[in-house]
Amino acid sequence: MILVFGGNGQLGQELTRASAARATPLVGLCHAEADIADHGAVSSAINRHGPSLVVNAAAYTKVDLAETEIEVVRQANEVGPAAIADACAAAGVPLIHISTDYVFDGSKRGPYVEGDPIAPINNYGRSKAAGERAVREKTSLHVIIRTSWVYGEFGQNFLKTMLRLAATRDELRVVADQRGCPTSTSDLAGAILRIAPQLLGGGKIWGTYHFVGAGVTTWHEFASRIVAAQAPLTGRAPRVTAITTAEFPTPARRPMNSELDCSLFERVFGFRGRPWTEETDRITRALASAAVKREPHVA
């Protein structure tokens, strides 16, 4: 059985759905059921459920608010992973911990590999880097998966924001000078469930990996793809205007280049992420057609 912390997040909910489709036993615990920063709550959840594998999908992910909510962020992204890794080590259970492209500063010209030096430029990235360190220190039976630009049908994400704005605005102004790899939660959840048996099979494949959707893009191109995919269903075709990061100041700085190289993951586990374009089209159509069914007068 797989035990998931952060069961109510975008990835957590997708893991629940994907495990049901594959008949893989999985229990997801939401924040109210287990605060990962509470060592006792984490240990007792692991002892109660007796999992063969733990997945930490819990995190504080509001990148701009993370600049000021320093202690809440530290509890979720550093103290929490440390508590989970500690409890996993005590129980002899392997851990998959999810991390982020934002541990890098974005100054590299090409895609980042796992061994590149980390140098986060915002507090979210610093807290996630500290979480990675804690996991490595506390348990050798870990796989850390760095992913990026996560979107899907559940929770809050960029794709859903673009759909909401496309429904009411005639122009969307979107940053075109940050590069990265959109990753669907269904692709990521599928990857986690696919590698689980390999981890439990005793292969010496512990360590840090990058896993993202195939292809690299900008937020502007990502938004344009979303708008184009929803237009035939909603009848809405707002203009998508490219702007610079300087024209859209945010409390937290973002890396200009977030591209992650996934060849190590592919070599070890034998597969790679699906193209972001296909996943974006599929998920946009699913969400847009559900919205049109709910509110047919909008189309």
Ligand X SMILES: NC(=O)c1ccc[n+]([C@@H]2O[C@H](COP(=O)([O-])OP(=O)(O)OC[C@H]3O[C@@H](n4cnc5c(N)ncnc54)[C@H](OP(=O)(O)O)[C@@H]3O)[C@@H](O)[C@H]2O)c1
Residues that bind ligand X (CB under 6 A): 5-6, 8-11, 31, 35-37, 57-61, 75-76, 80, 98, 100, 128, 147-150, 155
Distance CA 140, CA 47 (A): 19
3-state secondary structure of 25: coil
Instruction: HSE, CB side, 13 Å, CA atoms: give it for residue 261.
Output: 12
Could you tell me the smallest distance in angstroms from the CB atom of residue 41 to ligand X? 9
- CB closer to ligand X out of 277 and 292: 277
Write down the least CB distance from residue 282 to ligand X, Å.
18
What residue type is 124 in one-letter code?
Y
Phi, psi for residue 5 in degrees, rounded to 5? -90, 145
Query: What is the nearest approach in angstroms of ligand X to the Cβ of residue 72?
Result: 8
Three-state secondary-structure class, residue 280: helix
Residue 57 to residue 185: CA distance in whole angstroms = 11
**One-letter amino acid for residue 166 of the chain:** A
Tell me the residue number closest to ligand X, measured at CB: 9
- Cβ proximity to ligand X: between 59 and 89 the closer is 59
Q: Which residues are catalytic?
A: 124
- Dist CA 46 CA 223 (whole Å): 40
Secondary structure of residue 40 in the 3-state scheme? helix
Task: Report the distance separating Cα 204 and Cα 144, nearest Å.
Answer: 14
**Least gap, CB of 252 to ligand X (angstroms):** 13
Cβ proximity to ligand X, 155 vs 215, nearer residue: 155
Complex with ligand X: residue 72 or 243, whichever CB lies closer:
72
* Residue 255: C-alpha distances to residues 6, 132, 196, 208 (Å): 25, 19, 31, 20
CB of 36 to ligand X, least distance (A): 4
Phi/psi of residue 141, nearest 5 degrees:
-85, 60
Q: How many CB atoms lie within 10 A of CB 213?
A: 29
Q: Minimum distance between the CB of residue 271 and ligand X, rounded to whole angstroms?
A: 19
Task: Give the span between the Cα atoms of 156 and 187, in whole angstroms.
Answer: 17
Nearer to ligand X, 93 or 150 (CB): 150
- What are the structure tokens assigned to 235, written together? 């009848």
Nearer to ligand X, 189 or 229 (CB): 189
Strand 179-180, strand 95-100: pairing:
unpaired
Say if CB 34 and CB 5 are below 8 A apart. Answer: yes
